[in-house]
Every structure is written in C-alpha cells, then in structure tokens.
Amino acid sequence: MKKRLQTILSHAGAASRRSAVELIESGVVKVDGRKVTERGFRADPEEQEISVNGRKLSAEKKYYFIFNKPKNVISTAKDTHERRKVTDYFEGVKARLYPVGRLDRDTTGLLVVTNDGELAYRLMHPKFEIEKEYLVTIKPCVDNADIKKIEKGIEMDGKLTSACTIRFEEKDKISAVYRVILHEGKKRQIRRMFEDIDAKVIKLKRVKYAGLTLKGLKSGEFRELSQKEIDRLKAKV
C-alpha cells in the first residue's frame, strides 16, 4: 500500500513528519535507488527499497493489542488538555500507536490499539460492518415496546440507524442492564438511542469487538494479540 514518503519515514522512526519533509527536500532520501525530492511523493515500504543517507529503511514492526479502557481516559493519541490518554498506557512500546475508533471518555472497555494503519482503516470502515457488543446500564427502566422501537433503528443526524440487537440482562427498582450488539458506530450512538425513549445511559462498557473479548484483562490492562487473532481480524476485512 502506497503512503506519503514523509509518513513512511516518520513511522519508521527516521524523523518526525516535519523533519522528514526537510530530509526529502534536501535530497538524501532514495526510493529504489532514485533520489526523491518531491514533497508528497508516495511509495510502498513493503515493495520498494527506501534509504536515508545511504542507509536502508527497516520495515516498521506492526503491533496489535487489546486494551481495557478505564473511565476518564481519552481515546486519542494527542490531547491539548493534558488528560490521560489511551496511548499513555503504551509508553514502553517503541512505535506510533493509535486506537482503532474511539470510546467516549465515560465509556469503558475493549479497544484495539495498533500501528497498522491499513487494518485500522478497514476495521473502522462502515462497509465491513464490524460487530461491537456493549453492556449498557440505563435508568429509569423501560418497557419492551420501547426496546423494540430502537432495535429497528431511529433517525440520527438525518439518517436511520441500522437495525441492532438488544437483549435484556437484569434490572432492579431504578435501573436495567441490556446487552447491545451493533454493526455501525455513530458518535454517541447508544446514548442517543436510549435518549430517544427517555432513558439515560449511566454506565456503558464495550465487551466485544470483531470477535475479541476482554477475558483476563482488568481495567487499564492490555495484551498483545496472537497471530491467530490477527489473522482472524484481517480475514474480516
């Protein structure tokens, strides 16, 4: 897959993205033995030989993790307000990692974290309809007719949401827990779905994503995916 040359250099750790542009324009970067000075030049790091100052660029090692995101952690690689970020938990990994999609600050649970940009893009693309499963606690309790209504889809941002599956788990006098399975991921979708039937989501946790689960992971913990799990993810997209 072809990418901008400055992005390839940055991801390989040869320079920051801004410094990479300066390296390219200075004439010290070659692709398949040919000097490249064009800003925005695209190359395929897996198919083409790229060198800087005569040294061949090593292919970037790909990392794949499952992370159990705690509450009040931001699902982004950067934050201007100095809040705790998902990537802060991976400071020991020498790679430019980023979460696949986002969970709201108040939402906990499963995130895939990787530096494989192509896989991340495909997993997030609506056409692949990756299955996501959540445990949702709401209050007040609602009746089954309301649940059936939002299962069929509601209007959101001028469009109808796709049908989803909602299964009752348990309830007490003031709240109820449901298991919600989606194949899309609009911004704050689950919270807005329940708002449509006058219920407030007071707890939201993603427990499953593309067949992966949080088994064995406490809040704030992560683990690397096995090769079998990686292959299954790629097969889905």
Give the catalytic positions in this structure: 104
Residue 194: C-alpha distances to residues 103, 104, 149, 220 (Å): 17, 16, 10, 27
- What does the block give as tokens for 225? 């995916």
d(CA 54, CA 142): 67
**Residue 192 CB partners (closer than 8 Å, separation 6+):** 154, 156, 186
DSSP symbols for 86-135: GGGGGTTS-S--EESS---TT-EEEEEEES-HHHHHHHH-GGG---EEEE
Are 72 and 33 contacting, i.e. CB atoms less than 8 angstroms apart? no
d(CA 110, CA 162): 22
